[in-house]
């Protein structure tokens, strides 16, 4: 099984940024744990702060991977382009968020990704990534 985690803007700051919301672990450290917990999964990782690069990665992987785990960060709430990219690919996408976006500012209650996603997981901290991987394992 081949999956890719795509993280959007500011998620490169995990472990430093707002630890009361996002925790104190870096994503690179967490990714090491994910790979060891799911040895049968070819788990790739990509992060970008640039909307167009995220769209390009969705296009690149969206026809040949078994699944995409997407935490688009703030682009979730603003990017019609990312939503359209997901609509245009065949690989299923699970939208995830570390925090419960519905417990935060009202602008975070809107998602341009959800209507085209296989499912949405939010509010379970970094465990959201585990739940997303498990959703692809049959």
Among this protein's residues, is 77 annotated catalytic? no
Among this protein's residues, is 109 annotated catalytic? no
Handedness of CA 87, 61, 40, 131 (dihedral sign): negative
CA 30 to chain centroid, in Å, comes to 14
Residues with Cβ within 8 Å of 8's Cβ and at least 6 positions away in sequence, in order, are: 47, 48, 49, 54, 70, 71, 72, 73, 74, 75, 76
Distance CA(110)–CA(115), nearest Å, equals 11
Q: Which of 30, 65, 75, 97 is catalytic?
A: 97
Active site residues: 22, 97
């Amino acid at each position: 099984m081949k999956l890719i985690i795509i993280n959007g803007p500011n998620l490169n700051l995990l472990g430093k940024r707002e630890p009361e919301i996002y925790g104190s672990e870096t994503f690179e450290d967490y990714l090491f744990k994910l790979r060891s917990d799911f040895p049968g999964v070819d788990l790739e990782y990509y992060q970008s702060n640039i909307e167009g690069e995220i769209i390009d990665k969705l296009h690149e992987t969206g026809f040949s991977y078994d699944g995409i785990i997407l935490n688009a960060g703030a682009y979730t709430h603003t990017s019609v382009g990312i939503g359209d990219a997901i609509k245009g690919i065949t690989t299923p996408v699970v939208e995830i968020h570390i925090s419960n976006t519905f417990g935060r500012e009202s602008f975070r209650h809107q998602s341009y990704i959800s209507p085209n996603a296989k499912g949405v997981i939010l509010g379970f901290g970094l465990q959201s990534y585990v739940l997303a991987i498990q959703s692809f394992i049959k």
